[in-house]
C-alpha cells in the first residue's frame, strides 16, 4: 500500500507564506518496497549535504545551519519513516521545522536553498496524480484496488467492507421483501442496494480519511449511480469504468484506469489551452515571464501553467513584481517561475504544474488573467 501525504490547499498556502533565513526544499524518488529504500536514504544524504554546503557558502549563521542539518540527519536515520514510503518524497526544512510529503509521483532529485520554499514539484503531484484507487463494485462483491505507475495493482484489505449486497443486508437475496413490505423488484430493491452501498461507503470512509488520492468507480448502472448518491469521499472521479468488474482482474482494471486518468489529464490541458486562446483575443493571456510576474504581484492571475522541471534562477521584486534574472542558482536567489506560482496561490489563483510540452508555445509558464493588462 502507498503511504501518501498529499497536501490540502491550506497546507500549500501555509508553505507558500513561510520565510526563513534558511529554507531548504529537497525532492527525490523513493519506493514503496521497504527493502529497497536504502538507495533513497543515500541519495537524500547527498542532497542534504549539497543544501548544507550552499547555506554555509551563503554565510548563514552556523548554529542555524547545524540545527537544520540535525533535522535532516535524524530523518535519514529514522527506520520507521523509511518503512512506509511511496514513489516520491518532498522535504521542506528550516532550522525550526521539517515537513515531509510522501507523493505518488516519482520526482527528479532536486535541492533548492533560499529564503522561501520551492513548490512546483509538490504542485505536480496535485495537478496530475498518476496513482489512484479503483472501487470494483457489483451486487455479487466489492473490492478496492490500489493502482500506481510502476507496481502491480493490488487489492487492499478494507476492514468492514461487505462481502456482497445480499449478505450485507441480512438477506439470502435482494429479491426478498423489505421491512416496509415493498417488493424488491424496483424501488424496494433500491432500498436494499443503498443499505449495501452505505456500508461500502462507511468502510472506505475510515480507510480514506484525509486522503487526496482519486477514487475511480468500476461498476454497471444503475449501481454506479446509486453509489454516487451515498458516497461521502470528496475525491470520487466523475468519470467511471463501465461494465461488470467481477469479470476483470486487478491488472485489467489497472490498465483501463491508467488510460482513463491520462484522458482526464489530456482533457484538462486541452480545455485550459482553449480558454487561453480565447482570453488571448481579449488581452487576458500571456507567456511572457516578466509580464506574468508583475500580474501575479498585483493579484491579476486567475490560472497559471508552469513547467514542472525547469528552474530559472533570479529574484522577483517585493515592491512591484519586476524580475531580475541570475546566471546561476544559489542561496541568495530562487526559482522565478516558482515565486510567480507562489504569489498566484496566495492571491487565490489556480496553479497547475505540467510538462513544458503542455504549455502554449513551449514556454516555461503561461497565464490567464482576471482582467486585461
Report d(CA 271, CA 201) in Å as an integer: 32
CB atoms within 10 A of CB 107: 20
What is the domain partition of the chain in residue ranges? 9-127, 132-265, 282-369
DSSP 120-182: HHHHHHHH----EEEEEEETTEEEEEEE-SSS--EEEP-TT--S-HHHHTT-S-TTSPPTT--
Report d(CA 324, CA 316) in Å as an integer: 6
Place of cell 480565447: 278
Cis peptide before 141 (omega within 30 of 0): no
Place of cell 531548504: 24
**What is the predicted pLDDT for the residue at 317?**
95
Radius of gyration of the chain (CA): 24
Place of cell 421491512: 179
Report d(CA 314, CA 231) in Å as an integer: 47
Dihedral in degrees, nearest 10, Cα atoms 289, 294, 299, 301: -30
**What architecture does CATH give domain 282-369?**
2-Layer Sandwich (3.30)
Burial of 243 (0-12, 13-18, 19+ CB in 10 A): middle
Report d(CA 293, CA 321) in Å as an integer: 6
Report d(CA 235, CA 8) in Å as an integer: 12
Report d(CA 218, CA 239) in Å as an integer: 10
Q: Is the dihedral of CA 145, 148, 154, 160 positive or negative?
A: negative
CATH topology of domain 9-127: 3.30.960
| Intervals of the chain under pLDDT 70 | 1-2, 172-187
Render pLDDT for 291-328 as a digit per residue (tens, 0 to 9).
999 999 999 999 999 998 889 999 999 999 999 999 98
Cell numbers at residue 322, please? 519586476
The helix/strand/coil state of 307 is strand
Report d(CA 75, CA 88) in Å as an integer: 15
In the sheet with 236-242, reading across from the earlier edge strand, the strands are 154-156, 141-147, 132-138, 215-219, 236-242
| Beta strands 301-307 and 350-354, pairing class | parallel
Using CA atoms, how far residue 348 sits from 9, 299, 315, 320, in Å, is 10, 8, 22, 19
Q: Do domains 9-127 and 282-369 have the same CATH topology?
A: no
**What is the predicted pLDDT for the residue at 128?**
82
**What is the predicted pLDDT for the residue at 7?**
84
Report d(CA 68, CA 51) in Å as an integer: 10
**What is the predicted pLDDT for the residue at 183?**
47
Report d(CA 200, CA 203) in Å as an integer: 5
Show Cβ contacts of residue 252 under 8 Å, excluding neighbours closer than 6 positions: none
Render pLDDT for 150-161 as a digit per residue (tens, 0 to 9).
778 999 999 999
CB atoms within 10 A of CB 114: 25
**What is the predicted pLDDT for the residue at 151?**
79
Dihedral in degrees, nearest 10, Cα atoms 257, 81, 67, 318: 10
Report d(CA 68, CA 102) in Å as an integer: 20
Q: Indicate the CATH number for domain 132-265.
A: 3.30.420
> Do 32 and 3 contact (CB within 8 A), yes or no?
yes
**What is the predicted pLDDT for the residue at 130?**
80
Amino acid at each position: 500500500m502507498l503511504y501518501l501525504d498529499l497536501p490540502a490547499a491550506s497546507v500549500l498556502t501555509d508553505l507558500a507564506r513561510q520565510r526563513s533565513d534558511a529554507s531548504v526544499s529537497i525532492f527525490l524518488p523513493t519506493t514503496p518496497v521497504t527493502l529497497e529504500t536504502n538507495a533513497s536514504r543515500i541519495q537524500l544524504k547527498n542532497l542534504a549535504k549539497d543544501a548544507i554546503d550552499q547555506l554555509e557558502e551563503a554565510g548563514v549563521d552556523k548554529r542555524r545551519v547545524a540545527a537544520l542539518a540535525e533535522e535532516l540527519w535524524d530523518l535519514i536515520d529514522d527506520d520507521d519513516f523509511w518503512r512506509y514510503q511511496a514513489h516520491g518524497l518532498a522535504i521542506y526544512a528550516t532550522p525550526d521545522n521539517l515537513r515531509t510529503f510522501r507523493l505518488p509521483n516519482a520526482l527528479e532529485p532536486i535541492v533548492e536553498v533560499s529564503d522561501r520554499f520551492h513548490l512546483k514539484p509538490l504542485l505536480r503531484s496535485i495537478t496530475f496524480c498518476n496513482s489512484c484507487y479503483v472501487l470494483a463494485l457489483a451486487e455479487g462483491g466489492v473490492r478496492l484496488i490500489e493502482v500506481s505507475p510502476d507496481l502491480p495493482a493490488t487489492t487492499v484489505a478494507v476492514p468492514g467492507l461487505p462481502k456482497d449486497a445480499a449478505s450485507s443486508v441480512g438477506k439470502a437475496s435482494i429479491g426478498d421483501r423489505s421491512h416496509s413490505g415493498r417488493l424488491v423488484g424496483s424501488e424496494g430493491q433500491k432500498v436494499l442496494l443503498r443499505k449495501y452501498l452505505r456500508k461500502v461507503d462507511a468502510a472506505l470512509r475510515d480507510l480514506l480519511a484525509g486522503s487526496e488520492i482519486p477514487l475511480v468507480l468500476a461498476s454497471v448502472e444503475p449501481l454506479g449511480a446509486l453509489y454516487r448518491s451515498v458516497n461521502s469521499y470528496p475525491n470520487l472521479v466523475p468519470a467511471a469504468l463501465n461494465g461488470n468488474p467481477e469479470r476483470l482482474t486487478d491488472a485489467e482494471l489497472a490498465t483501463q484506469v491508467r488510460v482513463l486518468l491520462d484522458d482526464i489529464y489530456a482533457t484538462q490541458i486541452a480545455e485550459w489551452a482553449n480558454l487561453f486562446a480565447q482570453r488571448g483575443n481579449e488581452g487576458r493571456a500571456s507567456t511572457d515571464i516578466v509580464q506574468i510576474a508583475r500580474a501575479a504581484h498585483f493579484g491579476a492571475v486567475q490560472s497559471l501553467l508552469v513547467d514542472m522541471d525547469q528552474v530559472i534562477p533570479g529574484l522577483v521584486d517585493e515592491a512591484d513584481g519586476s524580475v531580475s534574472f541570475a546566471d546561476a542558482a544559489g542561496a541568495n536567489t530562487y526559482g522565478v517561475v516558482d515565486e510567480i506560482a507562489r504569489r498566484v496561490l496566495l492571491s487565490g489563483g489556480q496553479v497547475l504544474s505540467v510538462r513544458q510540452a503542455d504549455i502554449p508555445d513551449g514556454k516555461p509558464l503561461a497565464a490567464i488573467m482576471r482582467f486585461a493588462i
